[in-house]
A and B are shown apart, each in its own frame.
Chain A
Amino acid sequence: MSYQKSSFRHPNLAVNDLGLTHRDYEGSLSTLCSGCGHDSIGASIVQACHELSLPPHKIAKLSGIGCSSKAPTYFLGKAHGFNSVHGRMPSIVTGANMANRDLTYIGMSGDGDTAAIGMGQFAHVVRRRLNMLYVVANNGVYGLTKGQTSATSDRGSKSKGGEENLLEGIDLPTLAIQLGATFVARSFSGDKNQLVPLLKAALSHRGFAFIDVLSPCVTFNNHNGSTKSYDYVRDHIQTASVTDYVPVKEEITTACPPGVCRDICLHDGSILRLNSVAENYDPQDRAEAIAAIERHKAKGEILTGLLYVDPAAEDLHEVMQTSHRPLNTLSESCLCPGNDRLQMINDSFR
């Protein structure tokens, strides 16, 4: 069941450029467990979309199956949603995006949905450089089916029943970078300050933007011994860089001192400002990004923040040179060549 929220609007709520408040970006009341990381991700998405002044109905939110895939019901209620089948959101969003390049596409998935059943589709949507934001709410466990280990569960992490995971966990950001994603970040559902600017930058990025968000499952994977619990993640997090998102319309007032911060200009003219970059981290160097993730992992740390970005890469529509007019708006005059043409074609078969 989902519940409608009251439409009462507080008079002092901040409005964005579209005259919309935060409430205009919310969804129905969540039915997830209270404290579930997925709801915090939803709240951050609401904030990011509101602050970016994206028209809510021009967003499409798509997901597979899982608690994480249910989460889109609880944000952006004015946007169309598609809760598809387990692990197959990437193909649905590919078709949707081909049909209408003008919407903003947010794919929401889980670690099971992406790294197990959906691994094939995930790999290929990355490789296709579809213009979208792909968020994995990563809790290292199958929440919806009640607590089985998932493919992103770290080696050595213990299940709620005390069993140790003996297999290697899949690192999704590493994979995404290798497969050609042009924006890759990792964050934590409990750290809005980091997550919201990353979401804003990812939504402004043209091409495939991937964010792996550690999102603890309070019911099945938040115990001692789990490497995806709130406590463990908080204690082991390391930041590649602190990201600030500066929208196009805002002027940058402070200069960026070299060695301390770094500005990256996105396709739409907005600026990503990276502060306190760790170890002279260069987020435009693919090999270095992967090496840094590995280095931190070896030390038992989780590297977060913007890991890799290529702001100039082409997306799938550009590669395919599809019409700038959304294909779903084309009518007979563009689509149907007419009978005269057909008679010429008939003649070629005589």
Chain B
Amino acid sequence: MHSIKSVNEFVIRFANVNGTGSASANLLFAKSLFRMGIPVSPRNVFPSNIQGMPTWYEVRVSEKGYLGRRGGGADIVVAMNAQSLAQDMRNVLPGGYFLYDSTKPLDPALVRSDVNILGMPISEICLREYTDPRQRQLFKNVIYVGALAALLDIEFEVIKGLIADQFKGKEKLIIPNIYALELGHQYASTNFKCPLDVRVKRSDQVGDKIMLDGNTATGLGAIYGGASVVGWYPITPSTSVVEKFMQYAKRLRIDPATGQANYAAVQMEDELAAIGCVIGAAWNGARAFTATSGPGVSLMTEFLGLAYFAEVPVVLVNVQRAGPSTGMPTRTQQPDITACAYASHGDTKHVLLFPSSPKECFDMTADAFDLAERLQTPVIVMSDLELGMNDHLSEPMQWDDERRYDRGKVLNEEQLDEIERFGRYLDVDGDGICYRTLPGTHAEKGSFFTRGTSRDRYAVYSEQGDVYVDNVDRLTHKFKTAATLVPPAKITRQGKGQKIGLIYYGTTAAAISETVDTLTEKGIKVDSLRVRAFPFGQEVADFIDSHDQVFVIEQNRDGQLRSLLINELEINPRDLKAVLHYDGLPITARFISGRIEELLLDAGNKKSTRNVASR
């Protein structure tokens, strides 16, 4: 039989039962490769049920640094869920490997002649070694990691080191875990030909990178960005943003002298209240944020309109998941671009930031507070489930200790003293951004009514047409200023004069280097542009103008960023071709390059038929 041969370039899939402790063993596996300097990208594929349902964990190992989902079958499947055996067997690529618990013999109907089947009586080993039923369950996971160490040639010392780190402070647990690892290792070494033709080898491709999930980085970004008030309401996949914020705040934001908290995180009764709490705190001069996902954004829209119109700095993190409605709550997508860009009734527009890595989650969340206060408007950080809830290889986070928060245009008591008459909505500097005052600043001056109703430059209620137009036109002007302050798009060119351009954003980034390489191999050269913010900067319009064919790659059905580009930059829709992936799994390079080839072929055919017709 043909066996797949590959070093540091494969996909391994773990099939487990949810809630059986497999997550930490699987992470142990991924992390040991990471510590061997090999780029990895692990992903959970899980249902929204808590316990008892099948879950999968897929690790892509790629020396080349292709860290998007590969797609297709797996080279190795570790099948630890009796219920999904058939499905898991189908998932193995021809010539691949299927490691299963042979305590119960494999149904002969499942056996495939083109797959290397490795049976290991894991339950039996556990039954023999342990008496406590909990241990019997938990150590199963560690045992298969031990077996994989032998099968794939993972450095045993590295795994041992990870175990020692994991149980720091609970040293008693180290020895039994290492013992379980050895049980697996020993069984595999004596019963299988180790290592397999698919295996790993120490590399130097990781450098000083870290491995963490986007939500943790976002929570840390909020800590470093100076958020002191959080109003929130739990929803997958955003919950861990606030949980991580609170977890770090308990360590980093407690005054050592008094034991008092330098933050307040209030779990509100729903998302309306969560964003309301943020607006109230921001109005009162604290940096405040909330995190949510699609259904929460829908509930927040009335308030987002208030914050836009009353000009209150708000930071909202949207960890997107597949909609509409409850949609697929544990699947990833980029489906809220339109909903967030234009959230709320009336003419509204919001600043959006699109992080594509944990490092960017950290940076953009911290920056969002500066931008929101500078612009006095909501800023929405558009993460997604894939970025937020899975671990990613990332550049390390950095903070410049010289950096000072940009608190924007806020007048203090002395400044108010010098002003003849304070006008909250006077555009003194001509950038559309006015000066605000905080409650309690001055005994006589600077008080005003914040409201969602139309008002004049002095914050006095008015329904006069010209007063209204004056105000909303200034808001348009302010949005133009925003375009000069948000992070610019990242452009990568393959030499001069390329005719084809790719536009993408967020987690699609992980699949792009592989896409570009694949297309190049086929003789198709492309430039690419990663959108990092809305409003779009001039560079985005220029990129579209300077390419004959532009593909907009997105993870939603309707091409929402494409619509936004068309609408905001007045692009002819025919000039932007949509490449759309929306089944809830992260987009792959295979899909993108395949679709682009199709579209190019299509365009070529159309051109030639047109030529025939005109002849």
Contacts and interface: CB of A to CB of B under 8 A. Distances in A.
Contacts of A337: 223-224, 252
Contacts of A275: none
B192 interface: no
A141 interface: no
B245 to A, nearest CB: 12
B263 interface: yes
A1 interface: yes
A130 B374 CA distance: 30
Given A99-B280, A327-B228, A334 B288 contact: no
B288 A95 contact: yes
Given A57-B442, A58-B440, A322-B261, A73 B281 contact: no
A335 B399 contact: no
Given A83-B451, A327-B263, A349-B211, A335 B284 contact: no
9 residue pairs, one from A and one from B, having the closest CB atoms: A91-B276, A95-B280, A99-B286, A95-B281, A80-B439, A95-B277, A92-B280, A328-B285, A99-B284
Nearest to A18: B443
A237 interface: no
B461 A80 contact: no
A85 B273 CA distance: 12
Interface string A314-339: 00110011111001101110111111
Given A57-B439, A95-B278, A342-B397, 11 more contacts: A83-B449, A84-B276, A91-B231, A91-B268, A97-B280, A123-B269, A321-B261, A323-B261, A332-B226, A338-B401, A350-B210
Given A88-B276, A330-B262, A336 B399 contact: yes
A72 B451 CA distance: 12
Interface string A75-92: 001111111110010111
B347 to A, nearest CB: 17
9 contacts: A55-B443, A98-B277, A99-B228, A99-B284, A99-B288, A320-B266, A328-B286, A339-B398, A342-B220
B404 A328 contact: no
B226 A335 contact: yes
A96 B252 contact: no
Contact of B280 (A91, A320, A327, A349): A91
A100 interface: yes
A79 B443 CA distance: 9
Interface string A20-62: 0000000000000000000000000000000000011110101
Given A85-B303, A323-B261, A327-B228, A339 B443 contact: no
B276 A94 contact: yes
Interface residues of B, number: 74
Contacts of B279: 84, 91-92, 95
Contacts of A82: 280, 283, 449-451
Given A82-B280, A336-B399, A337-B224, A98 B229 contact: yes
B71 interface: no
A94 B34 CA distance: 45
B476 interface: no
A94 B268 contact: yes
A33 B266 CA distance: 39
A144 to B, nearest CB: 12
B270 interface: yes
B448 interface: yes
Contacts of B227: 335
Interface in B521-553: none
Contacts of B288: 95, 99
B87 interface: no
A93 interface: yes
B400 interface: yes
A80 B229 contact: no
A58 B443 CA distance: 8
A78 B270 CA distance: 33
A58 B442 CA distance: 9
Contacts of B210: 346, 349-350
A120 interface: yes
Contacts of B260: 321-324
Contacts of A94: 231, 266, 268, 273, 276-277, 280
Nearest to A342: B399
B462 interface: yes
Nearest to B273: A91
Q: Which of the four size classes fits the interface of chain A? A: 35 or more
Given A80-B439, A332-B405, A327 B306 contact: no
A145 interface: no
B397 to A, nearest CB: 5
B169 interface: no
Contact of B399 (A121, A124, A339): A339
Contacts of A335: 223, 226-228, 253, 262, 287
Nearest to B269: A124
A126 B231 CA distance: 16
Nearest to B223: A337
Contacts of B273: 88, 90-91, 94, 120-121, 124
Given A80-B450, A320-B264, A337-B224, A327 B397 contact: no
A254 interface: no
Contact of A1 (B269, B278, B462): B462
Contacts of A85: 302-303, 306, 452
Contacts of B259: 321
A163 interface: no
Contacts of B352: none
A102 interface: yes
Given A2-B460, A84-B276, A320 B226 contact: no
Interface string B29-42: 00000110000000
A317 B35 CA distance: 44
Nearest to A73: B449
Contacts of A58: 440
B255 interface: yes
B569 interface: no
A123 to B, nearest CB: 8
Contacts of B248: 345
Nearest to A329: B285
A341 interface: yes
Nearest to A91: B276
A128 interface: yes
B43 to A, nearest CB: 17
Given A81-B450, A345-B397, A121 B269 contact: yes
A338 B366 CA distance: 13
B439 A91 contact: no
A103 interface: yes
Interface in A124-162: 124, 128
A339 B400 contact: yes
A150 to B, nearest CB: 20
Contacts of A346: 210, 396-397
A93 B302 CA distance: 17
B285 A99 contact: yes
A38 B227 CA distance: 38
